[in-house]
């Protein structure tokens, strides 16, 4: 589970010497939501973003997510069920994409990864190894804004720069209720069937500007 807390200020005050622009066509955000009877998965498109480097190390940046693109891509439930779930996710009951068409992640600090830190299992599924980044290199902290709610999120990531291309990968869980992402089933069922934890997978490709 990612560490979540109050929004924080950047530690770098905009100091950087290189900028890498995110290649939105080759970058992905995936999500997995779990419940007692199974799980659903899908994607959210990346609208635009960049990552700044200082002395060869990622230090700051921002990524804008197109929430109007959120959709279910669960091959096990069929086209009609995916369409229904996608509509629910985009509705006022969840992301309310008409009023909140984008979400934002702004990096506030990046530190070398501490291999002695505890590795949390994936909540609500039996696929902890599937959802774990191998050989993380950094711990990334940033402010995640969804539906005008901003929280600090900290998680392990693998960030590698080769031949003017930056590749950043991360996989972590967040508790959706921290961003007021709740709906009727939560109140009536007390979260007994729909888990509050959502798995987020990031695979970013960026090129030097």
Q: What is the pTM (predicted TM-score) of this model?
A: 0.88
Length of the chain: 209
Residue 52: per-residue pLDDT:
95
- Rounded to 10 degrees, the C-alpha dihedral 81/36/40/159 comes to 170
Interatomic CA distance for residues 121 and 112, integer angstroms: 21
Name the band, by pLDDT with cuts 50, 70 and 90, for residue 118: low
Backbone angles phi and psi of 131, in degrees to 5: -105, 30
Answer yes or no: are the C-beta atoms of 20 and 162 closer than 8 Å.
no
Answer yes or no: are the C-beta atoms of 74 and 82 closer than 8 Å.
yes
Q: Is the pLDDT of residue 121 over 70?
A: no
Q: Is 168 exposed, middle or buried (0-12, 13-18, 19+ CB in 10 A)?
A: buried
96-105 burial, b for 16+ CB within 10 Å, e for fewer?
ebeebeebbb
Residue 15: per-residue pLDDT:
75
Mean pLDDT of 185-195: 54
Question: What's the chain's average pLDDT?
Answer: 87
Please write the tens of the pLDDT for every residue from 132-167: 788 999 999 999 999 999 999 999 999 999 989 999
Answer yes or no: are the C-beta atoms of 43 and 31 closer than 8 Å.
yes
Domains of the chain by range and CATH?
Answer: 3-208 (2.40.128.110)
Percent of the chain with pLDDT over 90: 67
Please write the tens of the pLDDT for every residue from 20-52: 999 999 999 999 998 766 789 999 999 999 999
Query: What sections of the chain are H helices per DSSP?
Result: 78-90, 184-189
Name the band, by pLDDT with cuts 50, 70 and 90, for residue 189: very low
Stronger pLDDT, 126 or 109, i.e. the higher one: 109
Strand ranges for the chain from DSSP E = 3-6, 18-22, 28-35, 38-54, 57-72, 102-112, 138-146, 149-162, 165-175, 194-208
CA distances from 104 to 83, 117, 147 (A): 25, 27, 10
């Amino acid at each position: 589970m990612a560490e979540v807390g109050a929004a924080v200020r950047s530690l770098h005050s905009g100091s950087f010497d290189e900028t890498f622009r995110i290649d939105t066509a080759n970058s992905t955000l995936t999500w997995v939501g779990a419940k007692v009877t199974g799980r659903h998965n899908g994607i959210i498109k990346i609208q635009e973003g960049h990552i700044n480097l200082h002395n060869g190390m990622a230090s700051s940046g921002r990524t804008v997510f197109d929430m109007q693109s959120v959709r279910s891509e669960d091959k096990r439930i069929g086209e009609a069920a995916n369409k229904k779930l996608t509509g629910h996710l985009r509705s006022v009951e969840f992301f309310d994409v008409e009023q909140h068409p984008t979400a934002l992640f702004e990096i506030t600090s990046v530190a070398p990864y501490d291999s002695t830190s505890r590795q949390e299992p994936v909540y609500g599924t039996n696929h902890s190894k599937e959802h774990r980044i191998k050989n993380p290199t950094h711990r990334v902290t940033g402010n995640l804004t969804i539906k005008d709610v901003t929280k600090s999120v900290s998680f392990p990531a693998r960030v590698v720069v080769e031949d003017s291309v930056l590749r950043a990968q991360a996989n972590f869980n967040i508790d959706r209720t921290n961003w007021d992402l709740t709906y009727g089933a939560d109140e009536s069922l007390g979260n007994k069937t729909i888990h509050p934890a959502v798995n987020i997978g990031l695979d970013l490709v960026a090129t030097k500007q």
